[in-house]
Amino acid sequence: MAITQADQFYKENKFVEVYEVLVKEKSDLSNCELQWKLARAARDLSQLDSTSKEKKKDLIYEGLQCAENAVKADESNFAAHKVSNLHLFLLLGNETLTICFLTAIEHQFLNIPSYIYKDLKLS
């Protein structure tokens, strides 16, 4: 139900509402679709001009975590890999987050090359 409602909000470009609906279900780590759509919603919110720099950073990291959850839930899901890679590129493209990104690679995300490989393999 949350996904259906979020999809409708997404079609209407109501990104705050999409995020609010999906974040309530965030603890459902085995639901690949919910996790990648929550990651996408976090990314969409991070791109809004009204979002503060600090909140943008938090949303990008939250989105990356949700994308990773989605990939773990279903490694063959193209959308999960796509949204994961989008978050990685957001981190790479943001000068203020470069150091944080490098730290994340060192401590948590050593499997990034396999994500990119899987994404290419699935497309």
* pLDDT tens digits along 69-110: 999 999 899 888 888 877 777 776 655 555 555 555 555 554
Distance CA 57, CA 64 (A): 11
Total number of domains in the chain: 1
pLDDT of residue 60: 87
Kindly report whether the global pTM for this prediction surpasses the value 0.85. no
pLDDT of residue 47: 87
Closest CA to 83 of 93, 68, 73: 68
How many other CB atoms are there within 10 angstroms of residue 25's CB atom? 16
Q: What is the DSSP string of 67-114?
A: HHHHHHH-TT-HHHHHHHHHHHHHHHH-GGGHHHHHHHHHHT-TTHHH
Residue 75's domain comprises: 2-122
CATH of the domain at 44: 1.25.40
Distance CA 94, CA 11 (A): 28
pLDDT of residue 83: 85
pLDDT reading at 123 higher than 90: no
